[in-house]
Amino acid sequence: MSSSTLFSNPLFGTTVTVLAYGAALAIYAKVRWLHPLLSAPLIVYLVLLAGSIDYKTYNAGGSIVSFFLGPATVALAVPLYKQAMRLRPMLPKLLMGAFIGSVLGITVNALCVILLGGSKELLYAVLPKSVTAPVAADLASWLGGSPELAAALTVVTGLFGSIAGPPLLRLARVHDYVSASIAIGASSHGIGSAKLLADSEEKGGISSFSMAACAIFTPLLLIPVNWFIL
């Protein structure tokens, strides 16, 4: 069996992906600044480089793993529902906050690319980057952009926001944790929420709610944007 048929067997791609993920989690347990979302794809990339295997060949198996992004996106309904039930007394304010966060996310992201003269391809990937990555990837390909690029930009946005967001909010005197958690969820989606969750369950819960609500508001807001503007 030649090496190319060996690598194009879907089992190669799925195995490399799962092993890289496992290794990335093990590294993260020791090296806290190296997020698994950076190290795992890097490991896959290095394996492909070392074996001079092209991405398409690898993706025969890789796409089997990516398939689960779809059901995982749908599954976000569950944390949204659970948090909504738990936060019921303040739900109207939280929904309003997440809605405003969605509007701001789309507007600011669009302005960044348009004012600086970025390409259409870049615009489609940047536009949904404040929303949770599976939804951002789905939205980017719907708009006509690249889901890979959108996913990467979204992850970097989340990493940056999870680190810079809390001190920025303190600097702006947003001291109440409800406002801060909603803001982090709207701008830095799940990566920001995970960071807040390490702080307290309360903050993490509100932030996850904000992330999930934005995952619904942003696509709805993008319908007219897509029709009339893009």
Partner 1 sequence: MKGFIIIIGFDGLGWLLHEGAGVPLPSHVLGLLLLTLALFTRLIKLEWVESAATLLTRHMMLFFVPLLAGVSVFIPMLSEAWPVIAVSIIAGTSAVTLLSGLVMRLLVDRKKGVKPAHEQQHSVF
- Coil/strand/helix, residue 132: coil
Determine the Cα–Cα distance for residues 158 and 134; give it in Å rounded to an integer: 13
> Is residue 36 near partner 1 by the rule CB under 8 A?
yes
> Is residue 6 near partner 1 by the rule CB under 8 A?
no
Given candidates 10, 51, 73, 225, which one binds partner 1 under the rule CB under 8 A? 73
Phi, psi of 173 (to 5 degrees): 60, 30
Fill in the per-residue mask, 75 to 114: x = in contact with partner 1 (CB under 8 A), - = not in contact: xxxxxxxx-x-xx-xx--x--xx--xx--xx--xx--xx-
- Coil/strand/helix, residue 230: coil
> Is residue 120 near partner 1 by the rule CB under 8 A?
no
CB 203 within 8 A of CB 180: yes
CA 136 to chain centre: 7
Fill in the per-residue mask, 151 to 180: x = in contact with partner 1 (CB under 8 A), - = not in contact: xxx-xxxx-xx--xx--xx--x-x-x-xxx
Q: Given the complex with partner 1, which of 30 and 224 has the nearer CB atom?
A: 224
For residue 46, count other CB atoms closer than 10 A to its CB: 11
Min dist. Cβ of residue 150 to partner 1 (A): 9
Q: Given the complex with partner 1, which of 1 and 227 has the nearer CB atom?
A: 227
Give the total of residues touching partner 1 (CB under 8 A): 117
For residue 212, count other CB atoms closer than 10 A to its CB: 27
